[in-house]
A and B are shown apart, each in its own frame.
Chain A
């Protein structure tokens, strides 16, 4: 090793060491989706993301029990609820038993004078008490008499009934044998809210295991358990990643190694050929870490995909070195082309790096820095580590068919051109069905899991998650007041038939202002006693039986107001937390709506009251579409930069020779995906970026001018080996059961093959 080479290797090791040390101390990986989204999103979208991230709803696990007779399922439901409650891992477990638990009942009863909307000063006047007592007497004569009588001495005005009346009676699912069931009676339903956050996949996996163990411990004779919800998805993905991804990655890696070994017949070269990509990964991650607060999990995934190209760089070098030639000399010959291969990718991603979208910018920075570092490592480190290329005895001999193929491809230009025109026609024909903007398509959740989730959600009668009314406020108290204001006009809307019902936080936790007003409406004990005597005089009730009432009112006058701490661990806290959401800007009071029939009218009424009516489905679609459109714009800009670079380096004709086959491959790839009935998502877009990256390299090396036919053959073989490794690695991913990996694998494998064929047909110069 020369001194210069030693210095280079030392500098490289130092850089890697520094990056590694920095990453070890600073790298924070986040799976928080919101960082990946544009900063210009509307407040509605931020609420959506907040809900996805850590809303109470995101910690909800939907449970279905099926495959046994109705009564057995009902018993299992009760037993499972008991066991889950005992496990302590859940903030709330509900299976519909007796509507509300005794804990909730007791809590509501204790605070009835703060919760009842009927509590006003007039209600405790003689006339008000007379009216309330008359109503209570009326109820005593109905089938509910036994219930009314049970609390009569303490609650003669029926405040508990007033409190319960606000709770939507038909909001929940159907009840059979006292627990929730699907409408057809085949499935008992439960919900459990984990204490662990939904995005913590490991915690969620423990939660899922707790449920499965609890169910197994019940030793059900027949039947099985179904689980769904964001946390279950997170846990499942983690499980699938463990089984699927590792298996497929190992398979892909084995294939890549086999191909490279077949080409080089040298373990030393094999080892060295991974240095540039590894260097690119470490330095790329460090660059993102330095430039941004947190590294996005998605950035890392997408970035590693795009870095797939860097594995090719040393291949181009090794495969094109003449027998006995030092790598440095080979670099001198192919350096220009290799530099273009690296620079096209760097320029293509540069526009993205300047994006205002954190996610896109991270991906851009990662690609620019990672690919540049991999290129630099190929240029300077690889020749230093491996100065004289050990002879490749069989590199060419094993692949004579490749040479014949490359020649044949040139003669297939006409059919290939016809195919590309056909592809453009397909894309044009399907242009309105090109994109899939559904946010749920971005989740790596299988279609069957999504279907189960939808079914359970529908059966549980969870409120229509599509529509929300939102009021923003600076503090929790202000949000609760806004919640009360919303309830007032929504009540009117229900009367007008625009919706069947709604749920707001203030029903369960009124604002302090309202609670204080209600507390202030309660008269002093002596005053109340005197008025009660007056009211009882002509009533059917005897005097003297209502001491508990006087005591409770007196107590309520001085007792502290109800707050969130009092509700902890009850179904009520769960409702409040789902309907009162804190985010960076303050608080959002939500109203979930049931059976909306007039969304347009509701939207108008909402804005008239200074609140916002949100169609979450439309919002999430807009969000994804915005993101995609931004990405497309930057990609187009990147392509323009690439074209300019190539035109500068190769002239207009040369640029066209390189770009045309690559873009044609992308068009064919898209057309084939569309014909397979797929729509394009962000994942496909990233995969297509990689197709452009590797495709340009193929075309560049096919289009290169070589000293002799042996050099040209070597270049063609280098391209073939690169395409072979890409095809193996991504072909394996296409086998994955995870939709995202399948999509990426499929798109890249298909695109790389097409890019190879078209580059051979159109980019190569005649012999």
Chain B
């Protein structure tokens, strides 16, 4: 037997073994339910983020950064450090907005303008693996594998579609890595998320 044919045989065996193995373990292809279950297993998470707005109206992209923290099931806080301090805290349906310019405001997330409310809800629901909540505002589609997935969100209501054309979230396992928002205005914002390992 030549080395060539031996390699081929080994490869064939490996493939066969792989097929046999996968048949035994029966891993389903990644779907929304599976992804959501994985995401839902996370109790707390914290991350830093860098958000970049690409706009035809801007001479150069607008970059902001800060941190995100999450506690299961419905608390999410977004802290913008630069270019200016801002804090968005979602607790259940209550959204608190603190800016340097105005006094702290607590409102129902449903009462927030669709652009702001739906976006923060989308991030929280994704992080929480809450498919029902996501599907309230968006049509959800999942592609990729467990280790490299992409969640696509298309707005369901005209209110949301007025501001947002599509959202994509990329991740690996239970981690979020990147959020991209295509705004109805033609702008795109890309948020690179760096989740800290616990």
Do the two chains bind?
Answer: yes
**Contacts A142-B99, A146-B119, A176-B93 hold; do A540 and B159 have CB atoms under 8 A apart?**
no
Whether A145 lies near B53 (C-beta < 8 A) is yes
**Contacts A147-B163, A540-B60 hold; do A138 and B184 have CB atoms under 8 A apart?**
no
Q: Which of A72-128 contact B (CB under 8 A)?
A: 96, 98-99
A175 to B93, CA, bound (A): 10
Q: Which of B80-124 contact A (CB under 8 A)?
A: 80, 83-84, 86, 88, 93, 97, 99, 105, 107-108, 110-111, 113-116, 119-120
Whether A175 lies near B107 (C-beta < 8 A) is yes
| CB of A301 within 8 Å of the partner chain | no
| CB of B196 within 8 Å of the partner chain | no
In the complex, which of the residues A138, A144, A153, A540 contacts B116, with contact meaning CB atoms closer than 8 Å? A144
Whether B185 lies near A540 (C-beta < 8 A) is no
| CB of B183 within 8 Å of the partner chain | yes
Q: Which of A137-190 contact B (CB under 8 A)?
A: 137-138, 140-147, 149-150, 152-153, 169, 174-179
Whether B184 lies near A150 (C-beta < 8 A) is yes
Whether B183 lies near A149 (C-beta < 8 A) is yes
A174 to B116, CA, bound (A): 18
**Contacts A152-B57, A152-B185, A542-B58 hold; do A147 and B116 have CB atoms under 8 A apart?**
yes
| CB of A22 within 8 Å of the partner chain | no
| A541-572 interface code vs B (CB 8 A; 1 in, 0 out) | 11001000000000000000000000000000
A149 to B181, CA, bound (A): 13
Whether A542 lies near B93 (C-beta < 8 A) is no
A141 to B80, CA, bound (A): 9
Whether B111 lies near A178 (C-beta < 8 A) is yes
In the complex, which of the residues A98, A146, A169, A178 contacts B163, with contact meaning CB atoms closer than 8 Å? A146
Whether A142 lies near B80 (C-beta < 8 A) is yes
B20 to chain A, nearest CB (A): 48
A542 to B119, CA, bound (A): 27
Residue in A closest to B162 when the chains form the complex, CB atoms? A150
In the complex, which of the residues A143, A153, A175, A545 contacts B111, with contact meaning CB atoms closer than 8 Å? A175
Whether B57 lies near A143 (C-beta < 8 A) is no
The count of residues in chain A whose C-beta lies closer than 8 Å to any C-beta of chain B is 28
Q: Which of B33-91 contact A (CB under 8 A)?
A: 53, 55-60, 62, 64, 78, 80, 83-84, 86, 88
Whether A98 lies near B159 (C-beta < 8 A) is yes
Residue in B closest to A185 when the chains form the complex, CB atoms? B93
The residue in A138, A146, A169 that gathers the most chain B C-beta atoms within 10 A of its C-beta is A146
| CB of B141 within 8 Å of the partner chain | no
A151 to chain B, nearest CB (A): 9
**Contacts A144-B116, A150-B184, A150-B185 hold; do A138 and B57 have CB atoms under 8 A apart?**
no
A545 to B55, CA, bound (A): 11
A387 to chain B, nearest CB (A): 82
Whether B62 lies near A540 (C-beta < 8 A) is yes
Residue in A closest to B55 when the chains form the complex, CB atoms? A149
Residues of A within 8 A of B99 (CB): 142
| CB of B187 within 8 Å of the partner chain | yes
A141 to B62, CA, bound (A): 7
| CB of B176 within 8 Å of the partner chain | no
A149 to B185, CA, bound (A): 7
In the complex, which of the residues B56, B107, B115 contacts A147, with contact meaning CB atoms closer than 8 Å? B115
A438 to B197, CA, bound (A): 68
A98 to B107, CA, bound (A): 11
Residues of B within 8 A of A145 (CB): 53, 189
**Contacts A98-B111, A145-B53, A176-B93 hold; do A138 and B83 have CB atoms under 8 A apart?**
yes
A480 to B9, CA, bound (A): 92
Whether A140 lies near B62 (C-beta < 8 A) is yes
Whether A143 lies near B53 (C-beta < 8 A) is no
Whether A150 lies near B183 (C-beta < 8 A) is yes
Residues of A within 8 A of B93 (CB): 176-177
Whether B116 lies near A141 (C-beta < 8 A) is no
Residues of B within 8 A of A98 (CB): 111, 113-114, 159
| CB of B142 within 8 Å of the partner chain | no
Whether B111 lies near A141 (C-beta < 8 A) is no
A730 to chain B, nearest CB (A): 54
Whether A150 lies near B163 (C-beta < 8 A) is yes
B79 to chain A, nearest CB (A): 11
Whether B111 lies near A96 (C-beta < 8 A) is yes
Whether B183 lies near A178 (C-beta < 8 A) is no
Residue in B closest to A146 when the chains form the complex, CB atoms? B115
Residue in A closest to B93 when the chains form the complex, CB atoms? A176
A460 to chain B, nearest CB (A): 15
Whether A175 lies near B53 (C-beta < 8 A) is no
A617 to B86, CA, bound (A): 44
Residues of A within 8 A of B97 (CB): 143
Residues of B within 8 A of A177 (CB): 93, 108, 110
Whether A150 lies near B115 (C-beta < 8 A) is yes
B183 to chain A, nearest CB (A): 6
Residue in B closest to A172 when the chains form the complex, CB atoms? B111
Residue in A closest to B116 when the chains form the complex, CB atoms? A143
The residue in A142, A153, A179, A545 that gathers the most chain B C-beta atoms within 10 A of its C-beta is A142
A141 to B189, CA, bound (A): 11
Whether B80 lies near A545 (C-beta < 8 A) is no
Whether A142 lies near B57 (C-beta < 8 A) is no
Residues of B within 8 A of A174 (CB): 108
A70 to chain B, nearest CB (A): 9
A167 to chain B, nearest CB (A): 13
B77 to chain A, nearest CB (A): 12
| CB of B153 within 8 Å of the partner chain | no
Whether A176 lies near B86 (C-beta < 8 A) is no
Residues of A within 8 A of B88 (CB): 143
Whether A141 lies near B56 (C-beta < 8 A) is no
Residues of A within 8 A of B108 (CB): 174-178
Residues of B within 8 A of A169 (CB): 105
Residues of B within 8 A of A179 (CB): 110
Residues of B within 8 A of A545 (CB): 56-57
Closest 5 CB pairs of A and B: A178-B110, A175-B111, A175-B108, A146-B115, A545-B57
- 16 A-B residue pairs with Cβ-Cβ distance under 8 Å, sorted by A, are A140-B62, A143-B86, A143-B88, A143-B120, A144-B116, A146-B115, A146-B119, A146-B164, A149-B55, A150-B163, A150-B183, A152-B57, A169-B105, A175-B111, A540-B60, A541-B57
Q: Apart from A169-B105, A174-B108, list 6 A-B contacts with CB within 8 A.
A: A141-B62, A145-B53, A146-B119, A149-B55, A176-B108, A542-B59
